Structure 1
Amino acid sequence: MLILKNATAVQLEPAFVKEGLDIVIEKGMIKEIGSNLHSKYANARIRDLKGKLVMPGIVCSHNHFYSGLARGIMADIKPSPDFISILKNLWWRLDKALDEESLYISGLICSLEAIKSGCTSVIDHHASPYYIKGSLNTLRKGFLKAGLRGMTCFETTDRNRGLDEMAEGVEENVRFAQLIDAAKEKGDEPYLVEAHIGAHAPFTVSNEGLTLLSDAIKTTGRGLHIHVAEDRYDVTHSHHHYDQDVIERLDDYGLINHKSLLAHGLFLSEKDIAIVNKKDAFLVHNARSNMNNAIGYNEKLGRFKNVALGTDGIGADMFEELKFAFFKHRDSGGPMWPDSFLKHLHNGNELLARNFSAKFGQLAPGNKADLTILDYVSPTPLMAENIAGHFAFGLNASNVSSVIVEGEFVYEDREFPFDVTEIYTQARKVVARLWKAMDDLK
């Protein structure tokens, strides 16, 4: 049993700020929260927080851990004047160059840096077309090594080898979901990693592929994780080849439900948005990635019932992501205020709840003890009514002092429980080989 003594409890939704509380943690769950509880449990391990903020864990709801070794990339990347060129010249070459070692290091580095940024969970979307079988378990090993909760899936696509590649991608998704089910039943490892059924985007998945994905979802009970309408090309392709809107086409194959995670969605039609809302699916907004790829702004963001925030592979600093999402919205003349985007950030916990069948996101008994601890000292009052303003204009990842996942410290007083120096040294060696492999693909 662990007691976080003298914490300033900060909950995002519904919002509250309460000082001087003790949080009792047992078996990965919040057992009790209240005043002076440390005196009630004589044998508990007590960690005096001296007023530090404790909040439900932060979730990055769409990421690409395979991109972890792309920072400052020195491969020969051709000029890329549009979104499809960016995919072909950079990302589709990087994913083809990945092997088991480079993927493990990339995923582990991303897991560590997510934790350091205050994340307790990351929902990943993976691609490595020449290392498919076993790739998701390689990522899972990185999650478990770091102690990060998360989800992952394989980006089913036909863009390299047609139907054979699609079938292999679906098989990897199903295989991984079954591995997770077996691991849960066995119970010898913490249940930190879950599965989606993944697909790249509608424009790289044929109707044969959608049939395979539909069968996989029925077989495993998981939801679909896919990019949709990230660029106008996805919509045009769907109209050209299938005479349907993007989500309409996916829904015809039974792929949209309450576990579905749809990334981007900039150019979805009103009909598509109605389907997403009716099926209670989630849109994940990735503001910085959209800006970086110059694909435009999601002017319809406020029309979606369920919105969460992700980074699309630009790290996992969700403090920064929230700021960019809000400021870009305001720059576009949008009507929403910071509290709307704070709700989007909180919603990552709802995604976890739907997939892990557990309670997340509340500082209350029965919720998972996934917690972010911050040493934020503000010159102005912090209260329920202005938490969102502090996130937009004050709090940042440098305030993260500790992170707890499943009741255990995975980052304490800005230190990991193991030496990470060698991991970063190995990464710099691996990346040289990875970047060369990318150039050899030209």
Structure 2
Amino acid sequence: MIILKNATVVDFSPATVQAGLDIVISGSKIIAVGRSVAANYQADRILDMKGALVMPGLVCSHNHFYSGLARGITAKIPPSPDFISMLKNLWWRLDVAIDEEVLYYSAMICALEAIRAGTTTVIDHHASPSFIKGSLRVLKQAFEEVGLRGITCYETTDRNGGMQEVETCIQENIDFATLCDADKKNKGDDYLVEAMIGGHAPMTMTDPALKLMAKAVWETRRGVHIHVAEDRYDVSHSHHIYGKDVMVRLNDFGLINDKSLLVHGVYLSDQDIAIINDHDAFLAHNARSNMNNHVGYSNKLSMYKNLVLGTDGMGSDMFEEMKFAFFKHKDMGGPLWPDTYLQFLYKGNELVSRYFSAQFGRVAPGYKADLTVLDYQSPTPLTAENIGGHIAFGLNSRDVTTVIINGQVILENRQFPFDVSAIYAKTQRISQDLWDKMDVFM
């Protein structure tokens, strides 16, 4: 049992700020929250918060841990004037160069940095065409070694090997979902990693591929995790080849359910959005990535029933992501305020809850003890009405001091319980080898 004494508890939905509370954690869950409740329990550890903020752990609702070693890349990247050329010249050369060692260390670095930023769950979307079978197990290993909660999948595509590649991708997703089912059966509420059924994007998946993907969704009782309408090309391709809007095509195969995660959606039509909402599915908005790839901006974010925030591989700092998402919205003349973006940030917990069959996203009894502690010296009052404003204009991942995931202290006083220097030393060496290998695939 762990007790956090004298905490300032911040919840996002409904928004509340309450000072002087104790938080009692037993196993992987919070069992009590209130003033002086610590006196009623005998704890193994008591951590004095001294008034520090304690809030629900943050969720990165779309990421690519395979891109962790791309930072500062010096591989020879030809001019890439549009989104498709950027995919071909950079990202599809990177993913094909990834082997088991690179994936493991890339995932380890990404997991460490997520936790340092106060992110307790990452929903990952993976690709490594030269290492498909067993790749998701490697990601699971990294999540568990660091202590990060995660959901991952393999992005099914036919762009490298036709239907044979599709079948291998689908099987990797099914095998991993089966592994996660066994994990849940053996560990109960304490398991850390879940599975989705991944697809790259409709433009790299034929109808037979979508049919197989739908079968996997039905067999595993999961949802799809797939990019849609990130660029105009995806929409044009769907209209040209199939005569349908992107989401209509996916829905025709029965691919959309209440565990589905559609990503980007910059160019989705009103009909597409209605399909997502009708199935109670989720749309992940990735502001920084969209800006970096110059794909455009959606002015329809408020139309989604379930909008969540992701990074699309640009780290896992969700404080930073929320700031970018809000300021880009304002730059485009949008009417929304920070409190709406706070709800977008919070909403990822609902998706995580559907996969782990548990409660996430509040500092309250019965909820999972996935918590972020921050030493935030606010120059102005912090109230229920202005939490979003504090995140948009002040509070930052640099304020994170301690992170608890599944009832375990993973980061304490900004330190991990194990030496991370050897991991970073290793990635310094293998990242250059990865970049050199990419040049072979020019």
The TM-score normalised by the length of structure 1 is 0.99
**Aligned 1:27-66 pairs, distance under 5 A:** 27-66=27-66
Contact preservation (8 Å) 1:67, 1:313: yes
Q: Aligned equivalents of 1:108 and 1:371: distance in 2?
A: 20
Are the structure 2 counterparts of residues 43 and 160 from structure 1 closer, same or farther at C-alpha, using a change threshold of 3 Å?
A: closer
**Residue type matched to 1:16 in 2?**
T
Q: 2:338 — aligned with what? A: 338
CA positional deviation for 1:144: 0.4
Q: Aligned equivalents of 1:190 and 1:110: distance in 2?
A: 22
Q: 1:347 — aligned with what? A: 347
Q: 1:417 — aligned with what? A: 417
Between the two proteins, what is the percent identity of the paired residues?
Answer: 61
Question: 1:38 is paired with a residue of what secondary structure?
Answer: helix
Contact preservation (8 Å) 2:28, 2:190: no
Q: 2:151 — aligned with what? A: 151
Contact preservation (8 Å) 1:223, 1:260: yes
Question: 1:32 is paired with a residue of what secondary structure?
Answer: strand
Contact preservation (8 Å) 1:308, 1:348: yes
Q: 1:238 — aligned with what? A: 238
Q: 2:220 — aligned with what? A: 220
CA positional deviation for 1:39: 1.5
Q: 1:103 — aligned with what? A: 103
CA positional deviation for 1:335: 0.8
Alignment deviations for residues 79-98 of structure 1 (CA, whole Å, 9 cap, x no partner): 10000000000000000000
Q: 1:406 — aligned with what? A: 406
Question: 1:320 is paired with a residue of what secondary structure?
Answer: helix
**Residue type matched to 1:279 in 2?**
H
Q: Aligned equivalents of 1:432 and 1:172: distance in 2?
A: 28
Alignment deviations for residues 170-224 of structure 1 (CA, whole Å, 9 cap, x no partner): 0000000001111222229940100000000000000000000000001100100
Mean alpha-carbon deviation: is it higher for 404-413 or for 37-46?
Answer: 37-46
CA positional deviation for 1:43: 4.2
CA positional deviation for 1:300: 1.0
Question: 2:4 is paired with a residue of what secondary structure?
Answer: strand
Question: 2:159 is paired with a residue of what secondary structure?
Answer: coil
Alignment deviations for residues 23-53 of structure 1 (CA, whole Å, 9 cap, x no partner): 0000110000001122111344211010000
Q: 1:128 — aligned with what? A: 128
Contact preservation (8 Å) 1:322, 1:342: yes
**Residue type matched to 2:280 in 1?**
D
Contact preservation (8 Å) 1:10, 1:54: yes
Contact preservation (8 Å) 2:307, 2:344: yes
Are the structure 2 counterparts of residues 106 and 189 from structure 1 closer, same or farther at C-alpha, using a change threshold of 3 Å?
A: farther
**Residue type matched to 1:420 in 2?**
V
**Aligned 1:298-313 pairs, distance under 5 A:** 298-313=298-313
Q: 1:182 — aligned with what? A: 182
Q: 1:20 — aligned with what? A: 20
Q: 2:169 — aligned with what? A: 169
**Residue type matched to 2:366 in 1?**
G
Q: Aligned equivalents of 1:42 and 1:429: distance in 2?
A: 47
Answering whether residue 118 of structure 2 is matched by residue 118 of structure 1, we say yes
**Aligned 1:272-351 pairs, distance under 5 A:** 272-351=272-351
Q: Aligned equivalents of 2:43 and 2:336: distance in 1?
A: 48
Are the structure 2 counterparts of residues 129 and 43 from structure 1 closer, same or farther at C-alpha, using a change threshold of 3 Å?
A: closer
Q: 2:202 — aligned with what? A: 202
Contact preservation (8 Å) 1:183, 1:189: no
CA positional deviation for 1:436: 1.1
Q: 1:78 — aligned with what? A: 78
Q: Aligned equivalents of 1:350 and 1:57: distance in 2?
A: 13
Mean alpha-carbon deviation: is it higher for 42-51 or for 232-241?
Answer: 42-51
Contact preservation (8 Å) 1:2, 1:45: yes
The TM-score normalised by the length of structure 2 is 0.99
CA positional deviation for 1:419: 0.3
Q: Aligned equivalents of 1:85 and 1:70: distance in 2?
A: 17
CA positional deviation for 1:354: 0.8
Question: 1:296 is paired with a residue of what secondary structure?
Answer: coil
Contact preservation (8 Å) 2:3, 2:43: no
Mean alpha-carbon deviation: is it higher for 189-198 or for 226-235?
Answer: 189-198
**Residue type matched to 1:223 in 2?**
G
**Residue type matched to 1:164 in 2?**
Q
**Residue type matched to 1:59 in 2?**
V
Question: 2:250 is paired with a residue of what secondary structure?
Answer: helix
Question: 1:8 is paired with a residue of what secondary structure?
Answer: strand
Q: Aligned equivalents of 1:235 and 1:175: distance in 2?
A: 31
Q: Aligned equivalents of 1:396 and 1:215: distance in 2?
A: 42
CA positional deviation for 1:236: 0.2
Contact preservation (8 Å) 2:28, 2:406: yes
Are the structure 2 counterparts of residues 378 and 41 from structure 1 closer, same or farther at C-alpha, using a change threshold of 3 Å?
A: same
Q: Aligned equivalents of 1:218 and 1:60: distance in 2?
A: 25
Question: 1:187 is paired with a residue of what secondary structure?
Answer: helix
Alignment deviations for residues 366-414 of structure 1 (CA, whole Å, 9 cap, x no partner): 1000000000010100010111110110101100001000011111100
Q: Any stretches of 5+ residues in structure 1 without a counterpart?
A: none
CA positional deviation for 1:251: 0.3
Question: 1:385 is paired with a residue of what secondary structure?
Answer: coil
Q: Any stretches of 5+ residues in structure 2 without a counterpart?
A: none
Contact preservation (8 Å) 1:58, 1:121: yes
CA positional deviation for 1:157: 0.2
Q: Aligned equivalents of 2:389 and 2:151: distance in 1?
A: 30
Q: What is the count of residue pairs matched by the alignment?
A: 442
Question: 2:22 is paired with a residue of what secondary structure?
Answer: strand
Contact preservation (8 Å) 2:7, 2:20: yes
**Residue type matched to 1:215 in 2?**
K
Q: Aligned equivalents of 1:62 and 1:187: distance in 2?
A: 26
**Residue type matched to 1:337 in 2?**
W
Q: Aligned equivalents of 2:119 and 2:346: distance in 1?
A: 12
